[in-house]
Homo-oligomer: A and B are copies of this chain.
């Protein structure tokens, strides 16, 4: 279980680190992560409008970036479905 958690943290950081703030996901980074890593879990993963809408619903403080805990909420809700 610890190694699976480690994989998720490492992958989040890899995507979050590609532009701008290295510990949050921008819209582009989120879109890349969704299409590459969790496309089977998300309807219309390839549609940028759909991932933008999803991101807006997760971005509680509305700063255009997802931090790790905001992202973690999404994974938890997907995983519990």
Please list the residues of chain A having a beta carbon within 8 angstroms of any beta carbon in chain B: 1-2, 4-5, 7-9, 11, 33, 37-38, 40-41, 68-69, 72-73, 75-80
Contact B68 A9 (CB under 8 A): no
Q: Residue A76 contacts which of B1, B2, B7, B72 (CB distance < 8 angstroms)?
A: B72
A-B contact pairs, 23 of them (CB 8 A): A1-B7, A1-B8, A1-B11, A1-B33, A2-B37, A2-B40, A4-B5, A4-B7, A4-B8, A5-B38, A5-B75, A5-B78, A5-B79, A9-B79, A9-B80, A68-B76, A68-B80, A69-B77, A69-B80, A72-B72, A72-B75, A72-B79, A76-B76
Interface SS of chain A: helix
